[in-house]
């Protein structure tokens, strides 16, 4: 599932991905426009609603530039580097009003999709991979990244504004190309140093994949291993929220959203601690 640094995937985006990007941007814009106080705090965050919306507007613009083939260095790929880049970008961008930010979020999502469509019509068969804040990606994975990023912060805004969030099973499924691609890049080297285990992860009613760890390395496979040590079945929305650091895994277990079995089922709660949410 990991993209190469030499070749792009051509053709239109996977079915439903463009629509999900556009609709998610619209859902977030509606949330932002409904805010009566842009200085309200976002739960479990140092940002206000206005700052979170400004970050989304800037991030969508960044992704649109990348999809068009422009170089936009942004951090060093580590959580600390990305946080520093976010802080720097927000300090230079003073807009915090709802309507302009909502418009920018949707407009830049459309610019992104237009750039991807133009690239799909290009007859060249080889092009360099796009260098995203989390490493080289083809445009299909970058679109999945954009969707995942919007859903994470859209969830935060929904919580802050006490409105329903926009994450559902179908949108989580469209996030999976990015999730599988980025997992080796966000693994916690200390956490996996002494671990040798093969996980089978199954999203209830959706994607199944494998994660094998050993000798301080991680291998992510688009199919589960034949003899996993630990099989985890998880509700898709819970999976994404846990992966993005938005939900406590023990809470999900307590709510019956996670089940595990195999030779080492006790390793299931350890799985999310092996990665650092970007």
**pLDDT value for 263:** 95
Least confident of 90-104, 110-124, 243-257: 110-124
**pLDDT value for 2:** 37
Q: Please give the structure tokens belonging to residue 15.
A: 């079915």
pTM for the predicted model, two decimal places: 0.93
Could you tell me the CA-to-CA distances from 135 to 5, 11, 73, 93, 154 in Å, in that order? 9, 22, 10, 25, 23
On whether the CB atoms of residues 212 and 198 are closer than 8 A, the answer is yes
Higher pLDDT, 123 or 274: 274
Tens of pLDDT, residues 33-78: 999 999 999 999 999 999 999 999 999 999 999 999 999 999 988 8
pLDDT band at residue 79, thresholds of 50, 70 and 90?
A: confident
The bridge status of strand 230-234 relative to strand 197-203 is parallel
On whether the CB atoms of residues 103 and 54 are closer than 8 A, the answer is no
Domain ranges of the chain: 17-181, 186-274
CATH of domain 17-181: 1.20.120
3-state SS of the chain is CCCCCCCCCCCCCCCCHHHHHHHHHHHHHHHHHHCCCCCCECCCCCCEHHHHHHHHHHHHHHHHHHHCCCCCCCCCCCHHHHHHHHHHHHHHCCCCCHHHHHHHHHHHHHHHHHHHHHHHHCCCCCCCCEEECCEEECHHHHHHHHHHHHHHHHHHHHHHHCCCCCCCHHHHHHHHHHHHHHHHHCECHHHHCCCCEEEEEEECCCCEEEEEEECCEEEEECCCCCCCCEEEEECHHHHHHHHCCCCCHHHHHHCCCEEEECCCHHHCCCHHHHECCC
Cα–Cα distance, 78 to 101 (Å, whole number)? 27
Mean per-residue pLDDT over the chain, rounded: 92
CATH topology of domain 186-274: Nonspecific Lipid-transfer Protein; Chain A (3.30.1050)
On whether the CB atoms of residues 178 and 145 are closer than 8 A, the answer is yes
Please list the residues that pair with 187 across neighbouring strands.
275
**pLDDT value for 7:** 37
Please list the residues that pair with 260 across neighbouring strands.
232
**pLDDT value for 155:** 98
């Amino acid at each position: 599932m990991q993209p190469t640094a030499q070749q792009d995937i051509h053709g239109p985006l996977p079915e439903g991905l463009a629509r999900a990007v556009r609709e998610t941007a619209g859902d977030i814009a509606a949330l932002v426009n409904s805010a009566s106080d842009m200085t309200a705090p976002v739960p479990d965050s140092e940002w206000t609603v206005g700052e979170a919306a400004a970050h989304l507007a800037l991030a969508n613009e960044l992704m649109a530039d990348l999809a068009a083939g422009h170089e936009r260095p942004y951090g060093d790929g580590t959580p600390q580097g990305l946080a520093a880049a976010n802080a720097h970008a927000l300090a230079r961008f003073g807009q915090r009003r709802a309507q302009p930010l909502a418009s920018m979020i949707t407009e830049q999502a459309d610019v992104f999709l237009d750039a991807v469509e133009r690239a799909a019509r290009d007859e060249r068969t080889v092009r360099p991979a796009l260098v995203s804040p989390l490493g080289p990606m083809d445009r299909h994975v970058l679109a999945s990244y954009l969707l995942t990023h919007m859903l994470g912060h859209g969830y935060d805004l929904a919580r802050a504004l006490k409105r329903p969030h926009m994450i559902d099973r179908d949108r989580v499924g469209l996030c999976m190309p990015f999730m599988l691609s980025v997992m080796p890049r966000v693994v916690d080297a200390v956490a996996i140093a002494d671990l040798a285990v093969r996980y089978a992860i199954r999203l209830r009613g959706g994607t199944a994949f494998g994660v094998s760890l050993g000798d301080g390395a991680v291998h992510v496979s688009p199919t589960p291993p034949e003899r996993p040590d630990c099989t985890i079945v998880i509700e898709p929305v819970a999976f994404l929220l846990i992966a993005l650091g938005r939900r406590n895994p023990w809470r999900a277990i307590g709510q019956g959203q996670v089940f595990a079995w195999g030779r080492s089922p006790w390793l299931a709660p350890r799985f999310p601690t092996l990665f650092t949410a970007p």
